[in-house]
Amino acid sequence: MNELRFHEDHKNSNHQPIIDFFHRNPLGTNNPVMTYLSVLAPIDRCVILEDLYNPNVLNSILSDKLLLAYVTSGKQYLAEKVIENSIYNGENDMNIWGLKSKLDLGLAPTRNRAQRLAIYNDFLSKSQNPIEIEFLNLLIDFCNKNYE
């Protein structure tokens, strides 16, 4: 089984509140939260998702998001390891096909701190869901501490 911990050297204490959030609110239980997470830089998504990922457990949503983080950060070979793990863990053929179809998406757009904060503040102004508001505040704090 492929243990996927390739970005631990990038991890800092600012990632932990987001990781803790997902321990309380499992990935995939709130669709807007998934969208908000995608605004982070791919390497930060890799750090967070690798921490949550267990290569011996079938988790279609986490596998999909980790694969996307790898693909959009230019780490195609790691995305392929996610697929290998998913096959090994018994993922159904339709989901495997879905994962494979994302391998050619390309790199994510580069955004600076101001752009990310504008996106998050816009989402925050429209949300009334307390879980989403909590997550957006975590992301805003993360952006202020980690991006220029």
* pLDDT tens string 62-100: 999 999 999 999 999 999 999 999 999 999 999 999 999
Q: Please tell me the pTM assigned to this model.
A: 0.89
Q: Is 7 helix (H, G, I), strand (E, B) or coil?
A: coil
Angle at 146 between CA 2 and CA 102, to 5 degrees: 40
Average pLDDT of the chain? 90
pLDDT in tens, 38-64: 999 999 999 999 999 887 788 899 999
